[in-house]
Amino acid sequence: MSVTLLTYRTLIRSRKISMKYNILPQVLQKQYINDMSNKVDDSIKSCEVKELTFPLPYGQLAAKEWGNPNGLPVLAVHGWLDNCGSFDPLIPHILKPHNLHVVAIDEPGVGLSSHKPLGSEYGRWNTVLEMKRVIDDLKWDKLTVLGHSQGGHYALLFGAIYPNLVERVITIDIYKPLTYHGTNWAKKVSKITEIHMKYEGYLKDELENKSRAPVYSEPDALKRLMEGHGNSLNEESARILMKRGAKQLNRGITFSRDIRLKIPSLDPPPTDQQMTQFMTHLKSDLLVINAKQTPYQMPEDVKQRYYDVYQQNCRYFKNVSLDGTHHLHMNDPIPVANEINKFITESLALQTKSKL
């Protein structure tokens, strides 16, 4: 470890300095990034990945595992309609500096995980249950939760529900759980119900080998995937997601995700007023990484309302903005990795200090 990195870690043991990270000398910050970049470059060469499965009442939850099983536990949760391959470009850059043990799951209905049975729906809270199944199976008593987009929604919810279990929450291009305006919801329910019925008809056809799922050539499938994500994926990132998210047929390529994931949930959506109150239970250290070219812009007053809650209730809250699109952790993972590595260093220093 370099002298600069040791100096940096010594400095952040001061709670005053760690909470005001931006006052650290710019030269020291730059050297820290260089040190971490060198460490993660070396880690890629020896980064082994294992496939895991966890039992579910209706099938299995698939996952990928990196790192030392005795290392610092991290559960990674991907975004809407993605899969755990979303973390392939990032994990090698964060694995070694803090001896992490990372398990990234395919949420139900995507990747290699089972689809839910006919008649079921994918509620906006249900993945929290699957996350707890995985953590119990792994016998983790403390962990960090890393989430991108909708996965960050689940990370924040899980951290608030289990404040004694979650030590750190890291979100990528989402700063709050998903909420909706409370108006006109009753009018939307009938429409959502009809869509559910329609899609169940499609699924019954698939079971009878009368699938209506679109089939694409590889270039068209890549184009479809990139456009479907608002062109936030570059082609290399899209190919990574297709490894677990598509299947080859005689006529071409089709996406393997459950079409019901596109349907809004029937359960009443929370408002920001309800969710900010819910987030007061989040006590962990929190890092929010925002993409500067995100399509998901929110009013500043709403963002500040959540940031005030985090400042008041989290042990340590840090917010950074990086150049990039919504999938910046895939397209350009090193800047994201540098921020995660710094945050974990700061969090561990505070944890050590609190035990002294």
**Whether residue 169 has pLDDT greater than 70:** yes
pTM metric for this prediction: 0.85
Task: Write out the DSSP string of 216-230.
Answer: B-HHHHHHHHHHHTT
Task: Give the Cα separation of 82 and 207 in Å (integer).
Answer: 24
Q: Mean of the pLDDT values across residues 324-334?
A: 98
Task: Give the Cα separation of 58 and 76 in Å (integer).
Answer: 22
pLDDT more than 70, % of the chain: 85
Task: Give the Cα separation of 188 and 196 in Å (integer).
Answer: 12
How many CB atoms neighbour CB 212 within 10 A? 9
Rg (CA), the chain: 21
Question: How far lies 125's CA from each of 150, 153, 164, 192, 245, in Å?
Answer: 11, 9, 19, 17, 22
CA 194 to chain centre: 30
**Whether residue 209 has pLDDT greater than 80:** no
**Whether residue 35 has pLDDT greater than 70:** no
Task: Give the Cα separation of 190 and 196 in Å (integer).
Answer: 10
Residue 72 binned pLDDT confidence (cut-offs 50, 70, 90): very high
Residue 45 binned pLDDT confidence (cut-offs 50, 70, 90): very low
Residue 314 binned pLDDT confidence (cut-offs 50, 70, 90): very high
> Which has the minimum average pLDDT: 19-23, 41-45, 261-265?
19-23
Q: What is the pLDDT of residue 182?
A: 66
Q: Given 86, 149, 232, 347, which residue is catalytic?
A: 149
Q: Mean of the pLDDT values across residues 70-81?
A: 97
Q: Mean of the pLDDT values across residues 220-241?
A: 95
pLDDT more than 90, % of the chain: 67
Q: Mean of the pLDDT values across residues 209-222?
A: 84
Residue-wise burial string across 45-66, b where 16 or more C-beta atoms lie within 10 A, e elsewhere: eeeeeeebebebeeeebbbbbb
Q: Does 149 participate in catalysis according to the annotation?
A: yes
Q: What is the pLDDT of residue 210?
A: 62
